[in-house]
Amino acid sequence: MEQQTGHACSSNIFLIGFMGSGKSSISDYLRDHYAMEKIEMDQRIVQKEGMSISEIFDTHGEEYFRNLETQLLVELQQKQNMVVSCGGGTPMRETNVRQMKKNGKVVWLTASPETIYERVKDSHDRPLLEGNKNTDFIAKLMSRRRPKYEAAADFTIQTDGKSCAKICEELMQKLVEWEKQS
Ligand code: S3P
């Protein structure tokens, strides 16, 4: 059992960012140390469909998966005290961003393509990266997506070279400042 280090915050938190930006690890940390309920979108979708993400992409295509993401965000509307680890592509749809903003704060975790590569290189459940695991591909997809992440984010935390504890400390500080201002 992890020791709780902070109080639950009053907003739900939606963690967005590229694959491998640390959304799952940070949401684990917030669950364990700030007593928040953790929702891992990919995991929920896998459970619901009874297939891995790769199988969903192969069997039904990406659009089907994207519709499941949108549907899940709607289903989460009533919840409180939760941290949601979004899929890397979730904020690409404006309707998803609207759902997130209606229901919490959107935090963008960033990392360099080199850091991302190191974090994803051994995993095989990211269909968009299969056969594309190199910093060039990552950098290109990242810059195509950047405007959407930027537009969605209430604030941003850079994660390269930082521990989960440090990232969460920054995140909570920014959240408190943000709440004071609004
Ligand atoms: C995707 C990111 C993945 C998963 C799917 C598509 C994306 O989630 O939702 O493979 O489009 O960036 P993670 O960001 O948790 O790897």
Pocket probe for ligand 1: among 14, 19, 109, the residue whose CB has the most ligand atoms within 8 Å is 19
Residue nearest to atom 4 of ligand 1 (CA): 87
Probe ligand 1: pick from 25, 38, 42, max atoms within 8 Å of CB?
A: 42
pLDDT(1) > 70: no
- Where do the domains of the chain lie? 12-180
Ligand 1 binding residues, C-beta < 6 A: 19, 23, 42, 53, 87-89, 126-128
Residues facing residue 123 across a β-bridge: none
Edge to edge, what strands does the sheet with 105-110 contain? Answer: 37-40, 82-85, 13-16, 105-110, 155-158
The third-level CATH classification (topology) of the domain covering 12-180 is Rossmann fold (3.40.50)
Residue type (1 letter), 62: E
pLDDT > 90? residue 169: yes
Does 53 score more than 90 pLDDT? Answer: yes
For 11, the token pair is: 């907003």
Per-residue model confidence as pLDDT tens digits over 119-147:
999 999 899 999 999 999 999 999 999 99
% of the chain with per-residue pLDDT over 90: 89
8 Å CB contact between 109 and 15:
yes
- pLDDT, residue 178, reads 83
74 phi/psi in degrees, rounded to 5: -65, -40
Tell me: the pLDDT tens digits for 67-115?
999 999 999 999 999 999 999 999 999 999 999 999 999 999 999 999 9
Dihedral through CA 27, CA 31, CA 37, CA 41, nearest 10? 20
Nearest to 8 by CA among 172, 166, 174, 154: 172
C-beta separation of 31 from 169 below 8 A: no
Q: Of 46, 57, 24, which is closest to residue 127 (Cα–Cα)?
A: 57
